[in-house]
Structure 1
Amino acid sequence: MSEGANVTEQRHLTPVLTKRWLSPNSWTLATYEQLEGYTALRKALAAHPDQLIQLIKDSGLRGRGGAGFPAGMKWGFIPQNDSKPHYLVINADEGEPGTCKDVPLMMADPHSLIEGIVITAYAIRANYAAIYVRGEVIHCIRRLHAAVREAYRAGYLGRNILGSGFDLEVVVHAGAGAYICGEETALLDSLEGRRGQPRLKPPFPATAGLYAAPTVVNNVETIATVPYIVNGGSDWFRSMGTEKSPGPKIYSLSGHVEKPGQYEAPLGITLRELLDMAGGMKDGIPLKFWTPGGSSTPLFTADHLDVPLDFEGAAAEGSMLGTTALMIFNETVSVPWAVMKWTEFYKHESCGKCTPCREGTYWLEQILHRMLRGEGTPEDVETMLDVCDNILGRSFCALGDGATSPITSAIKYFRHEFLELCEKNSGGVPAPALAGAQG
């Protein structure tokens, strides 16, 4: 890490979102209250809801679920005095390959999410909130249920919260393991008891969401950040990160690093700095390629070590910040093999509602399988690009777009690997690079 990066680390890498994670019994109400828990709620309930919306707007908090949409603006879209019930839905259906920040947060500090939910619901005038959790993480679901029960007993949920006159009911809903339900409108359909499929937009959830009523859908990390902003203020929050991407962020490092895990840092940190924090590349084998925000974001290479990992920095280099799921691959990995595994995932998880995604992911998987069996031709590379072009921007939701990202970016930076695979394996001999990746 450079001298300047060291200064940054000393000045800004004080834990905010993760500060309670290593405390004994950090998931309990007793520990949470000892460490400033629910102090922000008392402060928020003493303010006017519109003041809270303006505070979040001023802070510049952007959605941590992938899209980076300004949270305060989303809250402000909710119509008021419309005689309809308002709903808050927490997207905890963490299914993006490589993403592992929300589940650890809910396991270690569930009350930060619950406090953020109450504050957010108060701000948007919602009296009902649902936490939609990925069904496979049963341990996390149990911990959330326990935390919600504690909050009800302590008067932080239910009727007349802390004597404010504000009522809020919170339910924890377990999904059934569909990646598509991470898309906000498919999640809402699933909550309503229907098959999880994306809805046509407009109308948007802000005006016609859950049960056709105004709804805010936010990611776990986004809502868990809210209490810290209420206590610290917008200027304090903006002292971290960058001008357009302020605040701290949880980065998930996995793959070929010495110490994989969750690393909290201000937005705008680089992979070079994060690798330094994570002990460097595993066994000293050099970096080959990596994802800045999960498999649905275009790949980066070793040439992108110093790209600022904020919403603008990643976009300027042709990718997306996404969920800050950094999957790190060293030089032993075959790029076509990795892309094939991701494509298998997207083909399996496509809901089938729209033709470009349903058919396109199927044929992309078939082509990649053929190439990796040694039966591909150089023309297959152009065919894949053509299929991706017919999916991108033409599918019903972002799943289709995300499925094209690893393929198009891999061909952009590693076209030679796809061509070599076709040339070397014209006789059906397994590729050494593939064998190494699988081994």
Structure 2
Amino acid sequence: MTQTMKETAEMTSLHVFEELESEVRSYCRSFRTVFSKASNDKLWDVAGREYIDFFAGAGALNYGHNNERIRQKLVQYLLEDGITHSLDMATKAKEDFLIRFQEVILKPRGLQYKVMFPGPTGTNAVESAMKIARKVTGRETVLCFTNAFHGMSLGSLSVTGNKFKRKGAGVALNHSVFMPYDGYFGVDTDTVAYMEKLLDDPGSGVPLPAAVIVETVQGEGGLNVASVPWLKRLEKLCDQRGILLIIDDVQMGCGRTGTFFSFDEAGIRPDIVCLSKSIGGYGLPMALTLIKPELDVWAPGEHNGTFRGNNLAFIAATEALSYWETDAFSVEVIRKAKRVRTFLEEQVKLYPQLQGEVRGKGFIQGIAFADAKKAGLLCEAAFKRRVIMETSGPDSEVAKLMPPLTIDHEVLDLGLQRVSDSMKELAASISSQEKGA
């Protein structure tokens, strides 16, 4: 097929999406091509062009595209007529995953949780977490935080801060109270003390909540990072008042911050943990709600779903856990993350006129711009150089880098060089505009 024929086919394919798919589609508007193939840290489109992936399925592909080790297990399972769908019936695939998760993840950390399979997505995990918290405590309110993102179903939206996303609900979102996240008022304001004052003041109008739900790093909210002392004090506040602490680790779990759980560094023990995205190992839909045993008061079937028994995801997830048998993988991720941090700090210093600020942690970092439009322009410039990256934050003001954890060092460096070239182009464009004005 000639290059012209390839481009024609690509345009025709985009026309299909524009004509037949709902207007709600989003990422395909930023990445104007049709992808057809992927391997670890790269994708290829129908025209054969190669792209470096600094997006990793919004954190669902921590182990890369078509991970060979995991794929072998999946193919073998399929060829052996392994069960694919089973609701929540007992299967060998589920048994193997539960045992493996206990041995590799929970026991070494001294954590005791019952594992719930609430449905295939992160918002399913969040909904079930809030339901069980309300059932256990008999209270309705859930405290959440400024710039939080917890999902797109109604319950999850009620604890999500983004104005645009909340508006899409079309109804009032109730039974939540927002509190300032760590650093929301600046470094000199103790927001845990602020919460404590409101909870203990009978005149504050803030009721004793069933739970507090929090992300240790706010991915969609703009790469805001909660400090270890802040998380420890938040846990203490909850313990002292009989409030359940829910950690939403949907995007930050499975190594995105460098350790398997994003709260490992803080040494806290949440009452409930929500996992999804990369827990499925291969980009397959899967979610877990981890519940302390004494809180597991569900009646059978009280929370269910047709696709809570994704056996292909069990197979993939079980194999993915082999990355966490030792500390070697975590050490490697942290080493790469330091490389990214150094690069971003260099870029901010190199182009002070862009007024950038480095944010994030581990393998989800980026640059927040004073002028929000610059983040989108940087991502556009990067895509022209065949790097896939996206924005986050309430005004899409952060250009974020979140490659697969398994990205090759050479590919990472090449991708960073292309981002550097994109920053140079953006700075030149701004300078040109200022001179023209």
TM-score of the pair, normalised by structure 1: 0.26
More helix by share: 1
TM-score of the pair, normalised by structure 2: 0.26
User: Which structure's relative contact order is higher, taking Cα pairs within 8 Å and 6+ residues apart?
Assistant: 2
